[in-house]
Structure 1
Amino acid sequence: MSYHSRIWLLILLDSGIVLSTIYFSQKLINPNLQTLTMPMFIISITLLLGHHLFSLIYKLYKKAWEYASIGELISIFKVITYTIILTGIVQQLVQNQVDYRILAITWMIHLLLIGGSRFFWRIYRDTYLKQTINKERTLIVGAGSAGTMVARQLINNHDGELLPVAFIDDNVNKQKLDILGIPVMGGVEQIEQITKKLNIANIVIAIPSLSKKQLNQIFKECAKTTAKTQMIPMLEDLMTGKVSVNQFRDVQVEDLLGREAIELDMTSICEYVTDKVVLVTGAGGSIGSEICRQISKFNPKTLVLLGHGENSIYSIEMEMKESFKDTKIDIITEIADLQDYDKLLNVMTIYQPNVVYHAAAHKHVPLMERSPEEAVKNNIIGTKNIAQASSIHGVETFVMISTDKAVNPTSVMGSTKRLAEMLIQHFDQMSATRFVAVRFGNVLGSRGSVIPLFKRQIQNGGPVTVTHPDMVRYFMTIPEASRLVIQAGALAKGGEIFVLDMGDPVRIVDLAKNLIKLSGNNIDEIGIEFSGIRPGEKLFEELLKKEEVHEEQIYPKIYIGKTSNLYIEEIEYIIKNFKTLERDHLRKTLLDLANERVPYQKKLVSV
């Protein structure tokens, strides 16, 4: 029905109600009334004109009555009351008297019929139409303010696909109550039972302030059902108005594995970044590009994006210039190979950076096992080159990205990163530059990580391949890893290896099961196959060796490792001779040195 047709229909309906109201009122007072009298005519015309006048003033004809509530009822009350008052005034002026009994009865009948006609439509929509539309029966987890808002919007959204039929809440004071006519059936541990009992097809988690641990507990129960699980947006997105409470999204693996956000020390970061020249190596990679995004929020004077792959550097350059076009940050790109020492010196000479974040590295474990010489060239020689160039040109702070695989390494990749850490600690002793390294575990969603691989396998119908049923890893999100790197630069005194409190490690097979469930598939249908541990891998990773551990945190969720032995002459030997060594010999040499199984047990440098 068109807008104008709807208005005329309401005007005709109200006109009939008004005229009927005054007639029935007169009949109630005078049952023998047969003909239309002049006083009755005056009251009828006044009521009719008055009702339409006040309806226009209070926009009664523009209300969406399928969503009628207390506000609309108040508008009806005002329109009818003011209409009766106006009619009384006209009676006094024309007839010199007011028939209070007729006006009182008219007011009551008028209110009943006008209000009833409007709310009948809502009742009709909420009962008859709701039952005729095939909707998915939905369970809402959380009977607080957010859950109530979700339920109300689902009830009112008659074109939507979800029908709320029950709440779940661990608050025992809410259980067995009805909210908006929807029962609170029980606690989280009863999700599976209630889902089966009520034939639930969809579960909405409506607690925006959930911690990661709480969300994991809830999802664990939801995963026992066949219902699709979604959640409302995060609290900060709701508060900033980016999204509304009924814009549900699928639960992501990052929601389950990501940890509580680290609060940054904004003042200390601003002191060493704001209005400074910052250079990021590997700026086109997962971590490097996120460091660029995060560091730009602190308004550096110049941001130099250095990388070897032109496509990835072009992508981050375009993104940064678009995202920060309203700032004064000078964003510059440099295509350079870390093995080209002269080029690095030239870049340092031109831009004179105050801070360097070294994120460039080869990180793929199996590939580096097959090409150990490439790991040496990029992870060791490249690190030495950029560190030496930084020292020569007076860089204030140098932060290197390391990995948990550098602890008791069993792979070429981990070994070269451990030797790179030794180089960084050595340069810190020899230079005025503050050199530090930052270790963290696997990064969710980074290129080459296990999660994109699992997702592709699920999309292809499976099976998902897991190396070993007992394989465990630490995980963190790309933004969290980048924030740690930035915070480490502010904490740096020189020579430290910073380590994040990574929480509990995650079984890879559990991660695979969660991804299958999150994708809406059945674990049995997709299947999981165990392919065996790959060369260089180990079942679990460590963040610090026992002798490296400092018990106390130097910053919330950040530890610092104790310094250990450095083998700089041996590293120099590898750098000079790696091209002439057989791959197996080179691999063994790297592993022995990184694990301090040094030939002739000579500890050349100790800190």
Structure 2
Amino acid sequence: MRYNAILTLPRSAKKAIFIAHDIIMICLAFWFAYLVRFTFELAPLLSVPNWIVLGVTLIVTITTFIKLGLYRAVIRYVGTKMMFICLVGSSISVLALVIIGFFSNFPLPRSVPILYFFVLLVGTISSRLIVREWIRESYLDKNTPVIIYGAGQSGTQLLEAIRQVEHYYAVAFVDDDAQRQYTTVNNLTVYSPQQIQQLVQKYDVEKILLAIPSLSRESKKEILEFLEPLNLEVLAIPGMLELVEGKISIQSLKKVSVIDLLGRTPVEPIAELIQANIMNKIVMVTGAGGSIGSELCRQIIANQPKALLLFELSEFLLYSIEKELREHINAKGLNIELIPLLGSVQHQKRLFTVMHAYDVQTIYHAAAYKHVPMVEFNTIEGVRNNIYGTLHCALAAIEAKVETFVLISTDKAVRPTNTMGASKRMAELVLQALAARVDHETRFCMVRFGNVLGSSGSVVPVFEKQIEAGGPITLTHQDITRYFMTIPEAAQLVIQAGALGKGGDVFVLDMGESVKIIDLAKQMIRLSGLEIRDANNLHGDIEIQITGLRPGEKLYEELLIGDNVTRSTHERIMTANEIMLPWSELEALLERLDQACRNSNYEEVRNLLIEAPTAFTPADALCDLVWQQQAKQLTST
């Protein structure tokens, strides 16, 4: 209450209070100096010349403090600048006292100015520091006590930022460096990480602020695994750029990224590979507005193509990516032609017209239906888009004499248990067969990888929303595992793999270790400062519900059909030697499959996908919604 009353006073009232305070401090310093000098005799103090000297000194000192800006300082944030102003002001005040005494022939013992200076300096500084700390203590109950992990430069910057706002209250530093432990940084003690539990209990800490932006992903993962059992929310500063630019603030703090939990450090791209098919070339991206397609476009723009064609079925997605890239090109002053084109990859004539008109040299084919249940529910459209979309795009590329064609494939194409995976494996077979033909010069290759963080439909943003909503987290199976990498890393590796291809190559990206999704969910809950609600903890915050595998969903994904794999010149790109069909055999199979699609013969479509060398073993019966509705109608009649 007292704290609020003071803070809500008008600025002029606060200024008047401190001016009155300083007048009192000047008088006290002056009288104290005289009393000490004259062994506490009051007679010298009561003389008229004494009051005149004090009055003039008062006017000079207060005027000096006003001119130096002492009363513009906000008391909660006073620091070294305030101390310097008090030092300069006190020095001018004592100088004025000496000059006044000299010119007025007033007897001024030498010890009085010295005593006066020190009493005034200590009084003005200490009183402000006391008020500052009192105000801070007064609103402690309104703020969240936090521990700053990292007592280096970024940690001290973060502490200063915290002290400027009413969100957090730092109670301690924690640092792994033994040389820093048990030292004091900005009035906060630095402790060992092993003491965090005691600090949490002592200060009721609710959050840990991670302020070590220079850490490698592996080291950050180790710290997060150490902090996870504490059930504290962990926030982190974004990176070194904010530190260098001095932009660390409360607003820059963010929740720990799932990327940090995975501990995967991206490999720097090889410039020659990433520029080979892009620099000064005319490049086309199909599915340019999707998760992978849009990131490919960003990476392509960064490597200075002559022109970039954005080919997209969705008008909104095309508008969004075109606007983003256009603004980036204009801001950087790049000389890149950006061409937004609406169209479907199932229309070969449209594709050829576009490629031929712009003399396209490189194509990244990212257009696909990739959500497993959606393709299970819409079998024929999934087949048409993923298989025939790739076929038509590849044939148009051959006809338009495109130099390089790169297909974005998926780990779900390996021993698929769903239609989406089988259709992507068929798309690979199409390119392998076309690459083996000698009647063209287009170089085909495909890049196979697993889940990317932040893509549409990815499990991570779903979990984040469910945690924010208070749960529950829904998980299809407690043993389900997945590979993960970031979208930028995946896009960079796709581009580099495309440069390595000789023709018909199936490239596989090194995805690292597979992640058990239930463990990932638990980490996300705990590092949000929440507890898991289960049979052992009925009062927890977030429950994990097992909903059962969705149609076509696998417990785990693979990247290779067999063990026949060779390393490439890039440490994270491998080449798989997979079974293939010659074009004559595959063409006949594609004609039969196309006829089955035209006739809406769902059973035949599935049988042909099983017959093809895709290793397709369906996990479920036909789930196509239209087929199920037709079956119901037949049953009812």
Between the aligned partners of 1:378 and 1:266, the Cα distance in structure 2 is 33
Matches within 5 A, 1:189-268: 191=196, 195-196=200-201, 198-240=203-245, 244=249, 247-257=252-262, 259-266=264-271
Q: Match of 2:166?
A: 160
Between the aligned partners of 1:117 and 1:458, the Cα distance in structure 2 is 47
The change in CA–CA distance for 1:511 and 1:571 in structure 2 (over 3 A counts) is: farther
Mind listing any 5+ residue stretches in structure 1 that lack a counterpart?
A: 598-607
Q: Match of 2:634?
A: none
Q: Deviations over 1:397-454 (max 9, x none)?
A: 3221111122333333223322322333444454433332222111223223333454
3-state DSSP class of the match of 2:586?
helix
The change in CA–CA distance for 1:459 and 1:570 in structure 2 (over 3 A counts) is: farther
Q: Deviations over 1:127-150 (max 9, x none)?
A: 4x245x343332333333333443
Are residue 170 (structure 1) and residue 176 (structure 2) matched?
yes
3-state DSSP class of the match of 2:444?
strand
Root-mean-square deviation (CA, aligned residues, Å) is: 3.3
Between the aligned partners of 1:452 and 1:290, the Cα distance in structure 2 is 17
TM-score (norm 1): 0.86
The change in CA–CA distance for 1:22 and 1:165 in structure 2 (over 3 A counts) is: closer
> What displacement does 1:22 show?
2.7
Choose 15-24 or 34-43, whichever is displaced more.
Answer: 34-43
3-state DSSP class of the match of 2:478?
coil
Are residue 313 (structure 1) and residue 318 (structure 2) matched?
yes
Q: Match of 1:69?
A: 79
Are residue 500 (structure 1) and residue 500 (structure 2) matched?
no
In structure 2, give the amino acid aligned to 1:417. K
Q: Deviations over 1:504-528 (max 9, x none)?
A: 1111222333344466463436433
The change in CA–CA distance for 1:182 and 1:119 in structure 2 (over 3 A counts) is: closer
> What displacement does 1:502 show?
1.2
Are residue 13 (structure 1) and residue 18 (structure 2) matched?
no
The change in CA–CA distance for 1:463 and 1:91 in structure 2 (over 3 A counts) is: closer
Could you tell me whether the CA contact under 8 Å between 1:410 and 1:591 is conserved in 2?
no
> What displacement does 1:281 show?
0.4
Q: Match of 2:193?
A: 187
Could you tell me whether the CA contact under 8 Å between 2:445 and 2:501 is conserved in 1?
yes
Choose 368-377 or 74-83, whichever is displaced more.
Answer: 368-377
3-state DSSP class of the match of 1:594?
coil
Are residue 401 (structure 1) and residue 415 (structure 2) matched?
no
Are residue 3 (structure 1) and residue 18 (structure 2) matched?
no
Choose 339-348 or 256-265, whichever is displaced more.
Answer: 256-265
Q: Match of 2:587?
A: 572
Question: What is the aligned counterpart of 2:153 among 145, 161, 168?
Answer: 145
Q: Deviations over 1:295-343 (max 9, x none)?
A: 2233433322112233322333333334444444333222222121111
Between the aligned partners of 2:12 and 2:203, the Cα distance in structure 1 is 43
> What displacement does 1:474 show?
0.3
> What displacement does 1:290 show?
2.1
In structure 1, give the amino acid aligned to 2:125. G
Q: Match of 2:543?
A: 527
Are residue 110 (structure 1) and residue 120 (structure 2) matched?
yes
The change in CA–CA distance for 1:415 and 1:395 in structure 2 (over 3 A counts) is: same
Question: What is the aligned counterpart of 1:451 among 442, 460, 467?
Answer: 460
Q: Deviations over 1:89-146 (max 9, x none)?
A: 454455499742222222222223222332232232244x245x34333233333333
Between the aligned partners of 2:45 and 2:213, the Cα distance in structure 1 is 66
Choose 256-265 or 381-390, whichever is displaced more.
Answer: 256-265
Q: Match of 1:603?
A: none
Q: Match of 1:561?
A: 576
Q: Match of 1:33?
A: 43
Could you tell me whether the CA contact under 8 Å between 2:449 and 2:509 is conserved in 1?
yes
3-state DSSP class of the match of 1:304?
strand
Q: Deviations over 1:365-414 (max 9, x none)?
A: 23434554434322222112212222332323322111112233333322
Are residue 593 (structure 1) and residue 612 (structure 2) matched?
yes
3-state DSSP class of the match of 2:574?
strand
Q: Match of 1:549?
A: 565
Between the aligned partners of 1:264 and 1:243, the Cα distance in structure 2 is 29
3-state DSSP class of the match of 2:215?
coil
Matches within 5 A, 1:428-507: 428-429=435-436, 430=438, 431-454=440-463, 463-507=472-516
Between the aligned partners of 1:529 and 1:114, the Cα distance in structure 2 is 62
Question: What is the aligned counterpart of 2:397 among 372, 386, 390?
Answer: 390
3-state DSSP class of the match of 2:566?
coil
Question: What is the aligned counterpart of 1:540 among 545, 550, 556?
Answer: 556
In structure 1, give the amino acid aligned to 2:560. L
Between the aligned partners of 1:454 and 1:540, the Cα distance in structure 2 is 19
Matches within 5 A, 1:119-130: 119-127=129-137, 129-130=138-139
Between the aligned partners of 1:45 and 1:193, the Cα distance in structure 2 is 56
> What displacement does 1:356 show?
1.3
The change in CA–CA distance for 1:61 and 1:360 in structure 2 (over 3 A counts) is: same
3-state DSSP class of the match of 1:527?
strand
The change in CA–CA distance for 1:85 and 1:35 in structure 2 (over 3 A counts) is: closer
Between the aligned partners of 2:480 and 2:609, the Cα distance in structure 1 is 24
Q: Deviations over 1:211-239 (max 9, x none)?
A: 33333333334443343332233333443
Q: Deviations over 1:6-50 (max 9, x none)?
A: 333333332333234333333333325356557635643553343
Between the aligned partners of 1:410 and 1:196, the Cα distance in structure 2 is 50
Question: What is the aligned counterpart of 1:381 among 384, 388, 392?
Answer: 388
The percentage of counterpart residues that share the same residue type is: 36
Could you tell me whether the CA contact under 8 Å between 2:408 and 2:446 is conserved in 1?
yes
3-state DSSP class of the match of 2:612?
helix
User: How many equivalent pairs are there?
Assistant: 591
3-state DSSP class of the match of 1:210?
coil
Are residue 100 (structure 1) and residue 110 (structure 2) matched?
yes
3-state DSSP class of the match of 1:303?
strand
